[in-house]
Chain A
Amino acid sequence: MSTQIPKQTEKADETAAETETDAPSKGDERRAEKRRRADERRRQREAEEAERAAADENTVELRVFRYDPDVEGKQEPRFDTFHVPFTKGMTVLDALMYARDSYDSSLTFRHSCRQAVCGSDAMFVNGGQKLACKTQIDELEEPIRVEPLPHAEVTKDLVVDMEHFYDQMEAVEPYFQTNEYPDGELEEQRQTRENREKIKMSTRCIWCSACMSSCNIAAGDNEYLGPAAINKAYRFAMDEREGEDVKQKRLEIIEQEHGVWRCQTQFSCTEVCPKDIPLTEHIQELKREAVKNNLKFW
């Protein structure tokens, strides 16, 4: 099993560190020193890992995308290889955490709940959008290639800039609106079980942005609302507790130039959704609603 990762980037790194500036400040010197140490540690780590891998066949090989705009030697994207001891039930997130805590503390990825509800750790694993925490290692082919989500700007390593995704989510007035509440004190609005069931799947969205990353249309049209935001609009438009007038407004929002009509029904969003939300179906249903609505005024 080979653990040789691209050595040339390290060489470049070292020279850069030494010839960096004419009159290095104290801070620069410190940072250069830290970089040299970091490189040293990385070489040591790789040697140790190789040894471990040789001694123990039961390891997993990860090839992880690395990039940091701030750090010499990481400004050019590269892949690092990590050998992580396999344990039963291990997920891609477990393996990344092990690699970070044992080998390289600068390995960077978002994660929090470890149980597929916070939506922080969507990544591109062996060429597919996955939540790292619910992706079992033993179901993947090795070496496992871990990259940041495509079609998003990479901030560092596996972290991508989510601002655009959040902007699209917020563009659909993603909050409940009604003009009518029940009169009585402590009185809830009534909702049928059927209606609750109808919106149930749409309310499971965890904003991981896997769908947006998988969508060709979103990749080509930066203003396209995208599957998650349209699903959010669906969640409200289909909720019987909002009135007819609110629904009209919602349909106008999703019918705009960069709305539902952009969707070409490729189902890629539905395939990658870690919460099994039938995103494409929801988009199609909104298209039908919009058509019906337009006929009504015709």
Chain B
Amino acid sequence: MHEHDVVVVGAGGAGLRAAIAAQEEGADVAIVSKLHPVRSHTGAAEGGINAALRDADSWEDHAYDTMKGSDYLGDAPAVEALCKESPEEVIQLEHWGMPFSREEDGRVSQRPFGGLSFPRTTYAGAETGHQMLHTMYEQVVKRGITVYDEWHVMDLVVTDEDDPADRTCHGVVAYDIQRGEVDGFRASGGVILATGGMGQVFDHTTNAVANTGDGVAMAYRAGVPMEDMEFIQFHPTTLPSTGVLISEGVRGEGGILYNEKGERFMFEHGYANNDGELASRDVVSRAELTEVNEGRGIEDEYVHLDMRHLGEERILDRLENILHLAEDFEGADGLTEPMPVKPGQHYAMGGIETNEHGETVIDGLYAAGECACASVHGANRLGGNALPELIVFGKRAGHHAAGREMGEAEIPTGKRGEWEPAEYEFEVDVGAVGDRGPAAADGGAVAADAEGLMEAEIERARERVEDLLARKGRNHAEIRSAVQETMTANVNVFREEEGLKESLSDLREAREAYTEVAVSDPSRTFNTDLIHTMETRNVLDIAEALAMGALARREFRGAHWRKERQERDDENWLKHTLVSWNDGEPELWYKPAILEGEAKTYEPKVRSY
């Protein structure tokens, strides 16, 4: 068994920043990741980092834009922490050598992004995430932080008191992909989950194949609620054939969207009369699909994003990466023709419920980055707000786990604050199938001490691996693709009651199929069949919670659109959705959004752009 003060799961932006922070605070920290750090999907982020760096800008304006963008489902203490600390974090990255794009005077460049009242998106070409990831990994190397790469974390080691709020996390169990062995990582200070997105729940996504929401699912099974899972961002400009992302930076620089008739539909069809292409992402995605649904799409599938008028020089200077992506993955030359784009799953606003320090309801368990929900994005994330979230909340979680005194958080976790049960009755069964198939609850074994609990969980994980390798059954790939299909068909940009119900019954079938899953590769060396099979369980847990939240929420807020009620309903729905695993019988409940900030209250207003 390995022992460290702090164990960080995942090595993207949030994980690396958390590890650096914990180390700075004096902790012995280790990163455990199923990918080598530079393979993490933070590297695919293109656009930039929102930070109020300039005199004419302020963190208060950034916070206002973010609350409005969130459709008033962000929690003000988290939003304000993000906006206040982003500038110092950006400067920190610059001091670590990150190669930002520059102005004539040598200062870092900023550009306009959707939903922002000031051009505060700090960037490095159209490859900001790549530069950020590598810059932080360089710091990890410099500090000699231990990295266990190509170790797949299977589950958390958590005690099993009845109330999740009484539980403690002692570490994780993980599978060494190269050598085929299970081992434990004990963390005396804390475990920080930084496992990123869950795009593999859908089939047209900008996310990596590795983005299976592992951290969210394992925290859920250990008793931490998933928060606001129904809020999924569909990015308006992804390449139709692969889902590869075309940065919002293209529109930020002046790129224009056209339908088949050559109409600039964002204005001509009145979707966003002021901001046009630079309206919030949810607005633009719905506009594009409406165009397609009403017969004005190209090949009935996509619209055109044109940047030719920006000129070759500007494109090469600021968006060069986009030219390569459009050419390599869609065969389009952005200099001479418009690029085909359509909405694709991009980002999960929801995730592991945390407060503004990254703490979850379970003692010793933290989460940061896309896998977490503090919540800074509420019902819709603004472009350029994901990267600052990684560094601000990665740092906060790292400091806290390493023992820094940060005071009482304002956001309550679990049922410690005000909450109410959902009244919705689901028609199909949800949760565990039968008595503990591989998709059933984990819970913790009863054991006297942390050491004993770790040993018991390691043993259980070994048995699980042996069982998956030994049994006969179905391949996980068909189950995963069934999940992706129903989610993309029924829980997409436009959602309606019947489709959502259908998704839940399809997911039930998939869960049942998963009880018969088996791994056919017998190898102990780099067995990706085994890894993908374990990931598919996580995909299932997340898809179900997501569909449950979407079905119960009968309103239109941010990225969540419901046919049955196409307007925001603040009277009934100004609240977060939570789903607790509850030992295999998922429970849906709600807690109010926190709109009271440090100095002001963010009163919900009509969100127009």
Residues on A facing B (Cβ under 8 Å): 27, 30-31, 34-35, 37-38, 41, 68-71, 88-89, 100-102, 105-106, 108-120, 134, 155-157, 159, 162, 166, 170, 173-176, 181, 186-193, 196, 199-200, 203-207, 236, 239, 241-242
B interface, how many residues as a size bin?
Answer: 35 or more
B97 touches A176 (CB 8 A): yes
Q: Which 10 A-B pairs have the closest CB atoms?
A: A176-B97, A190-B106, A106-B521, A175-B138, A175-B142, A101-B477, A118-B39, A105-B529, A112-B208, A70-B523
Task: Identify A206's interface contact among B43, B139, B180, B527, CB under 8 A.
Answer: B43
Stretch of B1-9, B323-331, B353-361 on the interface side: B323-331
Can you report 18 residue pairs joining A to B where beta carbons are below 8 Å apart?
Answer: A27-B466, A34-B520, A38-B520, A70-B525, A101-B481, A105-B521, A105-B532, A106-B520, A108-B521, A115-B244, A117-B44, A117-B127, A118-B43, A118-B208, A156-B523, A176-B135, A196-B101, A239-B99
Whether a CB of chain A sits under 8 angstroms from the CB of B210 is yes
Check B210 against A176 for contact (C-beta < 8 Å).
Answer: no
Closest chain A residue, CB of each to CB of B103:
A193
**B498 adjacent to chain A (CB < 8 Å):** no
Against A, the Cβ 8 Å flags (1 = close, 0 = not) of B220-251 are 00000000000000000000011111000000
Per-residue CB contact flags for chain B residues 70-104 toward chain A (1 = under 8 Å, else 0) read: 00000000000000000110010011110111111
Report Cα–Cα, A114/B241, bound state, in Å: 12
Asked if A119 and B209 make an inter-chain contact with CB atoms under 8 angstroms apart, the answer reads: no
B99 A196 Cβ-Cβ under 8 A: yes
Q: Which residues of A contact B87 (CB under 8 A)?
A: 186
Q: Are A196 and B102 in contact (CB under 8 A)?
A: yes
Complex: A110 Cα to B529 Cα, angstroms: 12
**A112 with B41, Cβ < 8 A, contacts A89-B330, A155-B178, A190-B106 known:** yes
Smallest CB gap from B97: residue in A: A176
Q: Which residues of B contact A35 (CB under 8 A)?
A: 522
Contact A38–B41 (Cβ < 8 Å): no
- The answer to whether B329 touches A89 (Cβ under 8 A) is yes
Question: Are A111 and B209 in contact, with the CB atoms below 8 A?
Answer: yes
Tell me which residues across on chain A come within 8 A of B40, comparing CB atoms. 118
Question: Is the beta-carbon distance between B97 and A175 smaller than 8 angstroms?
Answer: yes
Q: How far is the CB of B320 from chain A (nearest CB, A)?
A: 9
- Residues in chain B within 8 A of chain A (CB atoms): 35-36, 38-41, 43-44, 53, 87-88, 91, 94-97, 99-108, 125, 127, 130-131, 134-135, 138-139, 141-142, 178, 180, 208-210, 241-245, 324-325, 328-331, 466, 469-470, 472, 475, 477, 481, 519-529, 532
Cβ-defined partner of B41 (8 Å) among A100, A113, A166, A192? A113
Contact B525 A166 (CB under 8 A): no
A116: which of B107, B131, B180, B328 is its contact (CB, 8 Å)?
A: B328
Alpha-carbon separation in the docked complex, A186 to B53 (Å): 8
Hey, which chain A residues are within 8 Å of B105, CB to CB?
190
Query: Which of B39, B108, B242 is in CB contact (< 8 Å) with A112?
Result: B39
B317 to chain A, nearest CB (A): 9
Residues of B within 8 A of A70 (CB): 180, 522-525
B525 and A188 form a contact (CB under 8 A)? no
Q: A186-B91, A207-B38 are in contact. Are A89 and B97 (CB under 8 A)?
A: no
Q: Which residue of A lies closest to B127 (CB)?
A: A204
Measured between alpha carbons, how far is A162 from B39 in the docked complex, in Å? 12
Set of chain A residues within 8 Å of B244, measured between Cβ atoms: 114-115
